């Protein structure tokens, strides 16, 4: 018995080693970016991989002020918050309707939404740009919020519909018997019960919106979001090389728990032209 | 209180409820019974307003409610699965309808506490449904209905998810509740013990149609047809093939028996089904038939004896004295007045 327990512990330790290495590989880019962001220009050139010896926050101040990150940051926060809020609201309402209500054409609507998932963004970029321009929404945060909502809504609706379909229909019927109308059923019953799915959706959509460059670049051409700002920084010769690691720190802020953030961090930590 | 006037429900081309007419008096406890798929739950949901009515009318409390929203009908429903809101406490569940009505928190609490006391739920008001047992959840579901003080209570198989002991307890509680509140109650079940013990009147449904409506004892003693005779009673009534031997006598299991009290005359040679309940086969006097015992279901105070009166004539008899044994051949007696005759179409011959 004791021998078996010892064997089990040993095998657990053996399994723990590759897992720890994997975990380190995810953490390392974050360490690399933060470590370099705190270095002076000289410190960075002399020892790119070593631990910072004379930490400074000047790089953050430069990025925040001179590279207009403060403005980009506000843009990103407002646009992401607006789009995610709108996405959660709409997808919860539509998901509830598609999952619980009986109306003609319900299946067709759901299939059409599913079909929309299969169209890559790149295919519709030109008509999308013309539509945004035609509506006078170019270079407006509202335009970008609506664009994100339009592009990410099909998946959000699909997820919420699938979640609400798993809830017992009797809950809706009980609420109707209790006198709740459509919006009251949604507000008092479906929305609180949909919290786990909404939380997941909120995280995913925040990542999509925060990390997006392509749609943002098209809609918000003059004002820029943080990601577009960082992408532009990488091609620019004006800011010092030290501005980019702080930039990648901003970039990582809302998405440090995701794999996409790891990808973002890796690319940010890659060598760039001084 | 409730009037169903030729109501029908069709799903596509399939008729689930077929022209049902029924009146439920105020304060009455009516139970819908029938086999699975007979439409009893659909009929209840049509009264509740949860199912659209394809044709016909529903009147509740003297008002036409065919197209009214569920809440506007003044009915409350207890669901089979309880349908409690899992994110709300017991008090919030019970007070939800009052909250929707716009009642203040203090008034809601007072009304919820009053209803909770009736159901012994006062100590559970702050718990979530997940922290309750099946019986407690069922009581909360009933409490949620009570707190609204509806004109009509609708129960859709409310006890089917409970274990046998709890089911008996809850059955008594529901009966007590009906005596206390004196509201009209419509109850759906497939359990005929529930139907027999709770109902003022039973509605037996089959294939979306009403087979018979009546008091439990009327349905048991005087069924209109073969289906009701077989459906009401456990174990079910024995049906023996017979042939009319005269205007008021039948030949059954090798015996010629005169059936007293028949108002119609049998045509000699007419095929009939002779119905006899298991408890009527152990009379102390009457016509005697031998039974070869094949199986004994011993229940302690009594036993159900399965055997054959003749080849291909199986019967079940209720045995209350002694301990019958498999393989024995025993004499059974029945009173011819307990025989029920049915024609080839299953209609009762009276």
Lowest-pLDDT choice from A245-249, B113-117, B195-199:
A245-249
Residues 6+ apart with CB under 8 A from B139: B119, B120, B121, B170, B173
Give pLDDT tens digits for B148-167: 888 899 999 988 888 888 88
Residues of B in contact with A177 (CB under 8 A): 48, 50, 70-71, 75-77, 97
Beta strands in chain A (DSSP E): none
The residue assigned the tokens 């509680």 is: B173
Residue A239: C-alpha distances to residues A61, A236, A243, B86, B174 (Å): 12, 7, 6, 55, 79
Helix or strand (DSSP H, E) at A37? helix A2-37
B72 to chain A: closest CA residue? A179
Say if CB A228 and CB A72 are below 8 A apart: yes
Q: For residue A244, what pLDDT band results from cuts at 50, 70 and 90?
A: low
Using 50, 70 and 90 to split pLDDT, how confident is the model at A143? very high
Three-class SS state of B83: coil
**Contact across the interface for A176 and B69, Cβ inside 8 Å:** yes
Helices of type H across A38-140: 41-46, 58-65, 69-100, 106-117, 125-134
* Tens digits of residue pLDDT in B282-312: 877 888 888 888 999 988 888 899 998 887 8
Closest chain A residue to the Cα of B153, Cα to Cα: A177
Chain A residues with a Cβ under 8 Å from any Cβ in chain B: 168, 170-171, 173-180, 184, 188-189, 192-193
Sequence length of chain A is 274
Chain-chain contact of A178 with B81 (C-beta, under 8 angstroms):
no
CATH architecture of A70-219: Orthogonal Bundle (1.10)
Q: How far apart are CA B143 and CA B174, in angstroms?
A: 11
Q: How far is A143 from chain B (nearest CA, A)?
A: 37
Q: Do A188 and B48 touch (CB under 8 A)?
A: no
Condensed to tens digits (0 to 9), the pLDDT of residues A68-81 reads: 788 888 989 999 99
Contact check, Cβ <8 Å, A168/B69: no
pLDDT at position A246: 58
In this structure, which long-range contacts are made by residues B172-177, counting pairs with CB atoms below 8 Å and at least 24 apart in sequence?
B173/B119, B173/B139, B174/B142, B174/B198, B177/B118, B177/B142, B177/B146
Indicate which of B51, B84, B87 best probes the interface with A, i.e. most A CBs within 10 Å of its own CB.
B87
Mean pLDDT to the nearest integer, B48-77: 91
Mean pLDDT for the stretch of residues B178-192: 89
Domain boundaries along the sequence of chain A:
29-67+240-266, 70-219
Residue B267: pLDDT over 80: yes
What confidence tens digit (pLDDT) does each residue in A84-106 have? 999 999 999 999 999 988 888 88
**Interface A:B, Cβ pairs < 8 A:** 57
What is the set of domains in chain B, with CATH numbers? 2-230 (3.40.50.300), 235-283+290-349 (no CATH)
- 8 Å CB contact of B85 and A174: yes
**Which residues of B lie closer than 8 Å to A, measured between beta carbons?**
48-50, 69-71, 75-77, 79-81, 83-87, 96-97, 99-101, 144, 148
Query: What is the predicted ipTM?
Result: 0.83
For residue A198, what are the β-bridge partners? none
Of the candidates A170, A180, A192, which has its C-beta nearest B83's C-beta? A170
Token pair, residue B224, equals 């209109």
What's the confidence (pLDDT) of residue A123? Answer: 87
Name the pLDDT band for A250 (thresholds 50, 70, 90): low
Using the beta-carbon criterion (under 8 Å), do B87 and A193 form an inter-chain contact? yes
Which residue bears the tokens 């301990």?
B323
> At residue A192, does pLDDT exceed 50?
yes
Burial A136-173 (b: 16+ CB within 10 A, else e): ebbeebebbbbbbbbbbbbbbbbbbbebbeebeebbbb
List residues bridging with A257 in a β-sheet.
none
């Amino acid at each position: 018995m004791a021998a078996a327990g010892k064997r089990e512990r040993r095998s657990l330790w053996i399994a723990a080693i590759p897992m720890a290495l994997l975990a380190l590989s995810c953490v390392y880019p974050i360490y690399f970016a933060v470590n370099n962001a705190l270095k002076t220009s000289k410190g960075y050139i002399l020892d790119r991989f070593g631990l910072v010896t004379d930490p400074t926050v000047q790089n953050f101040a430069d990025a925040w002020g001179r590279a207009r990150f403060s403005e980009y940051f506000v843009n990103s926060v407002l646009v992401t918050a607006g789009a995610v809020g709108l996405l959660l609201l709409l997808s919860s309402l539509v998901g509830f309707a598609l999952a619980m209500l009986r109306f003609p054409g319900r299946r067709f609507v759901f299939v059409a939404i599913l079909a929309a998932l299969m169209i890559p963004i790149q295919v519709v970029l030109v008509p999308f740009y013309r539509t945004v321009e035609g509506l006078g929404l170019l270079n407006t945060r509202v335009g970008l919020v609506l664009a994100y909502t339009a592009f990410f809504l099909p998946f959000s609706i699909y997820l919420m519909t699938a979640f609400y379909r798993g809830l017992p229909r009797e809950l809706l019927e009980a609420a109707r018997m209790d006198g709740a109308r459509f919006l009251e059923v949604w507000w008092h019953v479906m929305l609180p019960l949909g919290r786990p799915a909404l939380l997941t959706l909120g995280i995913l959509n925040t990542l999509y919106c925060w990390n997006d460059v392509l749609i943002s670049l098209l809609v918000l051409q003059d004002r820029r979001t943080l990601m577009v700002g960082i992408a532009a920084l990488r091609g620019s010769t004006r800011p010092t090389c030290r501005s980019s690691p702080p930039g990648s720190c901003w970039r990582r802020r809302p998405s440090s728990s995701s794999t996409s953030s790891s990808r973002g961090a890796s690319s940010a930590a890659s060598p760039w032209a001084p | 209180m409730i009037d169903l006037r030729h109501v029908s429900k069709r799903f596509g081309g399939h008729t689930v409820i077929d022209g049902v007419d029924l009146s439920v008096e105020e304060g009455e406890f009516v139970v819908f019974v029938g086999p699975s798929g007979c439409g009893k739950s659909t009929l209840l949901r049509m009264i509740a307003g949860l199912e659209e009515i394809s044709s016909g009318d529903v009147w509740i409390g003297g008002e036409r409610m065919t197209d009214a929203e569920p809440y506007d009908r003044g009915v409350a429903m207890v669901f089979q699965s309880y349908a409690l809101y899992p994110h709300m406490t017991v008090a919030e569940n019970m007070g939800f309808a009052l909250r929707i009505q716009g009642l203040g928190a203090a008034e809601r609490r007072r009304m919820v506490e009053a209803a909770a006391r009736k159901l012994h739920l006062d100590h559970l008001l702050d718990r979530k449904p997940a922290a309750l047992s099946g019986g407690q959840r069922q009581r909360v579901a009933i409490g949620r209905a009570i707190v609204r003080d509806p004109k009509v209570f609708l129960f859709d198989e409310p006890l089917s998810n409970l274990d046998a002991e709890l089911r008996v307890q809850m059955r008594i509680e529901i009966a007590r509740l009906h005596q206390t509140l004196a509201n009209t109650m419509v109850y759906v079940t497939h359990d005929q013990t529930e139907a027999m013990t709770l109902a003022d009147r039973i509605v037996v449904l089959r294939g979306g149609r009403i087979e018979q409506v009546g008091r439990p004892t009327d349905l048991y003693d005087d069924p209109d047809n073969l289906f009701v005779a077989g459906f009401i009673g456990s174990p079910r009534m024995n049906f023996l093939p017979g042939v009319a031997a005269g205007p008021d006598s039948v030949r059954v299991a090798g015996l010629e028996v005169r059936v007293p009290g028949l108002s119609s005359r049998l045509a000699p040679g007419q095929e009939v089904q002779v119905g006899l309940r298991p408890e009527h086969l152990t009379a102390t006097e009457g016509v005697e038939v031998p039974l070869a015992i094949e199986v004994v279901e011993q229940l302690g105070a009594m036993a159900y004896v399965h055997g054959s009166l003749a080849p291909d004539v199986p019967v079940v008899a209720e045995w209350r004295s002694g301990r019958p044994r498999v393989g024995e051949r025993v004499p059974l007696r029945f009173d011819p007045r307990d025989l029920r005759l049915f024609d080839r179409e299953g209609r009762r011959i009276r």
